[in-house]
Amino acid sequence: MKTAVEKAKILIESLPYIKSFANKTVVIKYGGHAMVDEALKSSFALDIILLKYIGINPVVVHGGGPQINEFLKKMNVQPSYVQGMRVTDRETMDVVEMVLVGKVNKEIVSLINYHGGKAVGLSGRDGDLVKAKKMKIVKNQLADAPPEIIDLGRVGEVTSINPDILETLDAKDFIPVIAPVGVGEDGRSFNINADLVAGAIAAQLKAEKLVLLTDVEGVLDKYRALIPSLTCAQAEEQIETGVIVGGMIPKVRCCMAAVRGGVKKAHIIDGRLEHSLLLEIFTRQGIGSEVLA
């Protein structure tokens, strides 16, 4: 009986959040361990379906780096990275699009539908959803030396989001699942970091929340303790002082850009925790780190 009462209390605790987020949009970047562990995959699908059933509009943007590397390995192609970005020549772009759009995307859609949801798979090319241009990376050099531009191939950055197709799907109660492939002015594909795509879509839709599922607890301070909440100014200071480092920097900057673009809150949470999405959205304490304007 005590366990049953505790469950009832959890439901009551979630009620204000259910009311507050009704008819609001939440953009979720799905990646990391949550995409490969079978139990976590089912947990994620059920979380997304629950959000939709109670009146929240989830939009899922997924990654797929490990799956791409696995396929390249079968082709005896060694992945190459510069400043954390995958060098994407024509052959690699074909693999990226085939794996992300043709395999990973469809698996996520099928899983959500299998558990009772109504998901539709998209890439950024569909309906010109994600317009992109070639990303330019400048190599760090001496102050008196001319800048050296590094060619990453078909790696892109978002120039604009066309929300028409998402609004159409939302009107019919479908859940969009988006592969982070954009389209350039020449009609060719660009490989884009999934965090950047999720952040740009969240800003365009003026989403209530952007949630990045990762393989870490959240943003950590210099003592390696979790920072539950920080403003953009505080995040910038933590980056400049070297507290936030490595792969966390682009994730935090993605969150900062999203909230500055109109998203109410952005969250970096541990996707290795079962039902982490629900714990973040529907509990008073939440989990992970939130970034505010």
Beta bridge partners of 1: none
More confident residue, 258 or 81: 258
List Cβ neighbours of 141 (8 Å cut-off, separation of 6 or more).
Answer: 147, 148
Count CB-CB contacts under 10 A for residue 284.
8
pLDDT band at 173 (very low <50, low <70, confident <90, very high): very high
**pTM score, two decimals?**
0.91
pLDDT range class, residue 26, cuts 50, 70, 90 = very high
Provide the CATH number for the domain around residue 222: 3.40.1160.10
Looking at residues 108-131, what average pLDDT do you find? 96
Q: Is residue 262 part of a domain?
A: yes
Residue 252 lies in a domain: yes
Mean pLDDT, rounded, for 240-250: 89
Whether residue 188 is contained in a domain is answered as yes
Beta pairing partners, 89: none
Half-sphere CA count of 101, side-chain side, radius 13 A: 18
Contact (CB, 8 A) for 198 and 28: yes
Q: Domain limits at 192?
A: 22-292
User: pLDDT tens digits for 129-161?
Assistant: 999 999 987 776 556 666 677 788 899 999 999
How many angstroms separate the first and last alpha carbons of the chain?
43
Residue 116 structure tokens: 């009772």
Q: What is the pLDDT of residue 34?
A: 87
Confidence at residue 141, expressed as pLDDT on a 0 to 100 scale = 58
Q: In this predicted structure, what is the pLDDT of residue 17? A: 85
Is 2 within a domain?
no
DSSP symbols for 141-209: --TTSPPEEE--BSBEEEEEE--HHHHHHHHTT-EEEEE-EEE-TTS-EEE--HHHHHHHHHHHHT-SE
**Structure confidence at residue 12 (pLDDT):** 82
Q: Whose CA is closest to 61, among 188, 219, 181, 197? A: 197
Q: Where residue 52 falls among pLDDT bands split at 50, 70, 90? A: very high
User: What does the pLDDT read at residue 122?
Assistant: 97
pLDDT value at residue 11 = 78
Tell me, what's the pLDDT at 143?
Answer: 60
Higher pLDDT, 75 or 12: 75
In a domain, 236, yes or no: yes
Please count the other Cβ atoms lying within 10 Å of the Cβ belonging to residue 182.
Answer: 29
* pLDDT tier at 2, thresholds 50, 70, 90: low
**Does the pLDDT at position 111 exceed 90?**
yes
Mean pLDDT of the chain: 91
Instruction: Specify the number of domains making up the chain.
Output: 1
Please report how many Cα atoms fall inside a 13 Å half-sphere around the Cα of residue 292, on the Cβ side: 5
Q: Does any domain span residue 115?
A: yes
Nearest CA to 53 among 123, 122, 112, 120? Answer: 112
In a domain, 56, yes or no: yes
Q: Quick check: is 240 in a domain?
A: yes
Runs of H (alpha helix) within the chain: 2-21, 38-53, 65-74, 90-99, 105-114, 164-171, 194-205, 232-240, 248-260, 276-282
